[in-house]
Chain A
Amino acid sequence: MTFLPKPKLHHPDLQKNALGYTRRDYEGPVSTLCAGCGHDSISAAIVRACFELDIAPHRVAKLSGIGCSSKTPTYFLGASHGFNSVHGRMPSVATGANIANRELIYLGVSGDGDSASIGLGQFAHAMRRGVNMVYIVENNGVYGLTKGQFSATADKGAKSKRGVVNTDEPIDLVGLALQLGATFVARSFSGDKAQLVPLIEAALKHQGAAFIDCISPCVAFNNHEGSTKSFDFVREHNEAVNALDLMLPREEITADYAPGTVELVTQHDGSVLRLRKLHTDYDVHDRVAALTYMQERHAAGEIVTGLLYVDPEPRDLHAALKTCATPLNALDDAALIPGSAALDKLNASLR
């Protein structure tokens, strides 16, 4: 792994978005991950989603735990503040950050070890609190950074590179997110940009806890025969329930598909999710059915992907806390300090 200074050469006719930023403005320093690592594709998808949504890079706060996956926020959105915290605890840091300033976009990146092993509790509680954030788990079934030990999402019967067979049941973060009240739940694959980018976009537009479990093969330690998180295995077993396009309010909404095969879901901010149904009877609004479906298909050996559940009118943590419209970190002394007169009155009541 080397550190290369990255040339910031802006091609004169590089396409600009509505804010005048080019794709480059959403990138970061060159990644130090292994060549071919699934995580780098997810970083690229994040860059593209933010560019296409015209998000000002500095209005995003990116947070992560520890792991190869958690290192990636260094490699995208170089003009955003980032916080690489401690192993498994990104959710609490993101929760605190979100509470402090409700106006920024919070993007949490984590790994399967980070979120399903050491940080399972924090993951669960962030979901149930409805923290308004995008929470992406870059799921490779192993601890990449510590060299290939099984993580808690490794499938039972999956074989490690050294030939060890995993005997423990896997933790399905999608199932947990559904059960714990996440209001946007999706699964995708780092090798399927066409599916992943719109999902990240829709999640960024979602005003509640948005969770994306993204299978992201580790080429160094978990891409072999016998792994259920390898590129080949995922490609073979991927069953998408729908295909998503995100349409912003400014775009003309078109739906030139056969009736019953397309559903339009309008989110709170006006963005529209255009869902092409690949499994006609799959209902993205039915949390309970989604849970059953996930378990059935997992038992049948499929990896179900797509937008799995969405509540377009979520209530987030700020609604529960009834926090004021002004971000808490912007309240001035006058708003915060009751002053000496109030204190004198209080003193009098304590005698």
Chain B
Amino acid sequence: MLWPLFRFLFHKVPRKPRIVEVSGTLQNDTVLTKQDFLIFKEHEQLWAVSRNCTHLGCRINYIEKENHLECPCHQSRFSIQGKVLRGPADKALPRYAVEPTESPSTYLVTIS
């Protein structure tokens, strides 16, 4: 009885990769803030970084003045590419691919 319960509780159903459609307008050097990620555009390049802090999971914010990301829980800092600039976090933020669609204000973000 214990073993099945143990297996049951410890099983994690893997998450499927999600493709999220987001709308909003992005020009060069701008950012689009969504609940789980931020989309950046620089030199015609598009990318998204997760907003889940790699320290303990709080939702990080983009600080426009300094052009970096900061976590409100313990003030870890990240570059807009997701690299750690200041701890306690020590892992970079996951980056997701972003693709433009035919409509100019819609993008597809693949969350893996």
A and B form one complex: no
Q: Which of B's residues lie within 8 Å of A, judged by CB? A: none
